[in-house]
Amino acid sequence: MKQVLLKQGGVVVEEVPAPRAEKGTVLVRVGYSCISVGTEMSGVRATSAPLWKRALQKPSDVKKVLDRLLSNGLSETSELVRRKLQTAYPIGYSASGKVIAVGEGVEDICVGARVACAGSQAAHHAEVIAVPRNLVVEVPDNIEMDKASTVTLGAIALQGVRRAKPTLGETFIVLGLGIIGQLTQQILQANGVHVIGVDLDADRVRRACDNGLKHGCSDAGHEMINAAYRLSNGYGADGAIITAATSSSELLANAFKSCRRKGRVVLVGDVGMDIDREDIYAKELDFLISTSYGPGRYDRLYEEKGMEYPLPYVRWTENRNMSAFLDLIADGRVSLDNLVSERCELQKAPDAYESLQSGTKRPLSILLTYDERERELRHSVSIGSRKALRRDTVHVAVVGAGGFATSTLMPIMRGNSDFQISAVVTRQGYTATNVARQFDVPEASTDFSAVLRNPQIDAVVIATRHDLHGEMVLAALKAGKHVMVEKPLCLTEKEADAIENYFAVGGQKENVLMVGFNRRFSPFVATIHKELIDRTSPMIINYRVNAGFIPREHWVHGSEGGGRNIGEACHFYDLFTALTGSEVRSVTAQSIVPKTRHYCRTDNFCMAATFADGSVANLTYTSLGDSSHPKERMTIFAEGRVIDLEDFRTLHGTGTKFSPLTTRKMEKGHREEIAAFGKAVLNGIDWPIPMWQQLQATRIALNVQSQIVSKNEGVI
């Protein structure tokens, strides 16, 4: 399918794999999408700015690059920055079309329904979009679909009005008569409010007057302030809604000056916010921010997971705002007849954006039009030249292309002659296309099952979010593929049993399965193994992880991640297993009970394990510490020796035979891990990690999780 993308300061239309209807989503064939001139052009201008200027605007990003430079060196950091600059980004957040499929759990929208869609994460300028259910509303029969495509802009305007809480007969100023300002003034009129519309562009003021505005003004200074007092019996406006965009703070100051005592000012647009106390203090003004489409915006549980806010307590959500706006159109209380300035075919979208950048016209909005004919969806596309297949390499499909896969796994595989990356599979087609181009991969796809059916793919590397690991591993094994899956292997005992049973009842044992427990492959751990190879007595292993704080709402704490114990601490359970080479005999765990919900209970715990060889291993895992302190430290006590490993950068020993080791960057074993997987697949040798050890690390994590959850009343 074709999609509009923002790439290196320009706009392009590219062929990308079509999305699939996943759980909780609606798949829509787009008929129209609305270009929000102000919002989208600010994004275009931002990406076209020189690199130095963009760096000055985001100093936090510069710090991240410098930190990466110190930890990973110039070559890797330069490559990361290069790929970042080459990335193409989707644009668009308001569209309409027909439903062609619904995902699991969506029961109130049917295939064939006419719908309007919102969301910068989903409602893109693309032929087909997969949109979470709470960002989709059905379109009333008496509304044309082109008008319905403005639903997001309407919801933004409506939410700004709701924040202002106008009452019948009040006087309000609307500053900025772009498309959102135009809709705002009409909605205020529908509420029985006297409106003063302000814009420097006289044509925009005229259009607003054509839609019922009684008082227009082309000056946002003294003329506007005087009009506010003149038209309100000298009291001043009851409120102002700012829908303009400017870096100056003068507009905000003049809005304050226009309002009566105890008035309210609502900011919808993007303006300078240097506030003079004198402008608001004496009048005791209320200054409010309106967050986009309404309650639910920027809440992943609402937007992505479909959690509803109960209507008796949250009357208007972003979804209800979308429906209410369409009702205003249907009832004739909002008109779009003179607000849609131009229409443009999808293929000519770059010309439309170019005219917006270089032209003198200031259209309120532009609609992109789409060919809605039924066509077969392509979930895989070829990218660039296709390399000749070599028989002496492992042909890999990378499934999931997030930060870790693209910054660590794929660069290592690309530099290893044992691998050819033949396909990239992600949920979003544009992401698959981006990554495929950056790594010279011949195929981009959104269809995991198609990769499994491809006989030219030898192995899959699974780097998705954790909740997909178990089922994907089993599906890949059953399809005859070798599997390398990032930790964890799975999130439940049932999934672990299913994987174990697959091999127990005759699964293809020649297919390698390896979890990404990289630390056991670190050169530092190899040195420790060599040092302890002659031990005859048990040892004590103390491991401390200063894990760093992750907010409660982050996905790693939820159903997708399974929590940090299962998702990360499994690394250390595997390392204990690797160092002892022994079966675990007992596991005990205890977590703290924080006095505040700021900290999660299941990422602050201690565990202890005993092994069949008599060794004891302890883990302290916490998010309570300071991030400037080293993250990981392991101390081993064994037969008159003490071994200290810190952050996989330094290794020291007392009573040991090896010399101290120090590396400039962390050596956590990723390169050695991937090399071991490739050799095992190509040469048919033993698995790099025995099956029982992979399952043991997984089950220790599940055991610990059970204990720290049950001891804390099941609350995570």
**129 and 163 in a common domain:** no
CA distance linking residue 35 with residue 102, whole number of Å: 26
Q: What confidence category does residue 52 fall into, taking pLDDT thresholds of 50, 70 and 90?
A: very low
Q: Are the C-beta atoms of residues 399 and 421 closer than 8 Å to each other?
A: no
In the predicted structure, residue 260 carries a pLDDT above the cut 50: yes
Decide if pLDDT at 330 tops 90: yes
Residue 445, domain member (yes or no): yes
- pLDDT given for residue 421 in this prediction: 96
| Confidence category of residue 69, pLDDT binned at 50, 70, 90 | low
Mean pLDDT over 680-697 rounds to 94
Given this model, what pLDDT does residue 671 score?
Answer: 97
Q: Is the pLDDT score of 54 beyond 60?
A: no
- Choosing from 515, 538, 556, the residue where a domain stops is 515
Whether 461 maps to a domain, the answer reads yes
For the domain that residue 654 is a member of, what is the CATH number?
3.30.360.10
Both 405 and 485 in one domain: the answer is yes
Q: For residue 284, give the H/E element and its range.
A: none
Asked if 534 and 653 sit in the same domain, the reply is yes
CA 312, distance to chain mean position in Å, is 31
13 and 121 in a single domain? The answer is yes
Confidence band of 685 (pLDDT split at 50, 70, 90): confident
pLDDT band for position 595 (cuts 50, 70, 90): confident
Number of domains the chain is built from: 4
Structure-block tokens of residue 474? 């089993």
Confidence of residue 1 (pLDDT cuts 50, 70, 90): very high
- 440 assigned to some structural domain: yes
* pLDDT in the model for residue 684: 84
Question: Mean pLDDT score of the chain, rounded to an integer?
Answer: 91
Residues 180 and 101 in one domain: no
CA 399 to chain centre: 16
Write the pLDDT tens digit of every residue in 438-448.
Answer: 999 999 999 99
* Closest by CA position to 238, among listed 153, 169, 180, 341: 169
Q: How confident is the model at residue 56 (pLDDT cuts 50, 70, 90)?
A: very low
Are residues 493 and 460 both part of a single domain? yes
pLDDT at 65: 60
User: Per-residue pLDDT for 78 more than 80?
Assistant: no
Whether the per-residue pLDDT at 384 is higher than 60: the answer is yes
Same domain, 420 and 462: yes
Residue ending a domain, among 491, 515, 539, is 515
Residue 218 sits in a domain whose CATH number is 3.40.50.720
Q: Which domain holds residue 126?
A: 2-150+340-369
Give domain status of residue 133, yes or no. Answer: yes
- Number of other residues whose CB lies within 10 A of the CB of residue 330: 16
525 and 618 inside one domain: yes
Confidence of residue 48 (pLDDT cuts 50, 70, 90): low
Spatial distance between the Cα atoms of 124 and 267, rounded to a whole number of angstroms: 25
Taking the CB of residue 275, how many other CB atoms lie within 10 A of it?
13
Q: For residue 619, which amino acid is it?
A: L
330 is a domain residue: no
**CB neighbours (10 Å) of residue 169?**
10
Query: Is the same domain home to 558 and 648?
Result: yes
Residues 441, 531: contact at Cβ < 8 Å? no
List Cα–Cα distances, 26 to 35, 102, 104, 115, 381, in angstroms: 22, 5, 9, 10, 22
What tokens were used for 337? 């007849």
Same domain, 102 and 188: no
Same domain, 540 and 657: yes
Residues 462 and 529 occupy one common structural domain: no
In the block, which residue shows the tokens 């806010």? 309
Give the residue among 91, 512, 106, 134 at the shortest CA–CA distance from 302: 134
Is 124 part of a structural domain of the chain? yes
The proportion of the chain whose per-residue pLDDT surpasses 70, expressed as a percent, equals 91
Mean pLDDT, residues 484-511: 90
| 256 is a domain residue | yes
Q: Does the residue 47 lie in any domain?
A: yes
Task: Judge whether 519 and 513 are in contact, CB under 8 Å.
Answer: no
Domain boundary among 281, 299, 317: 299
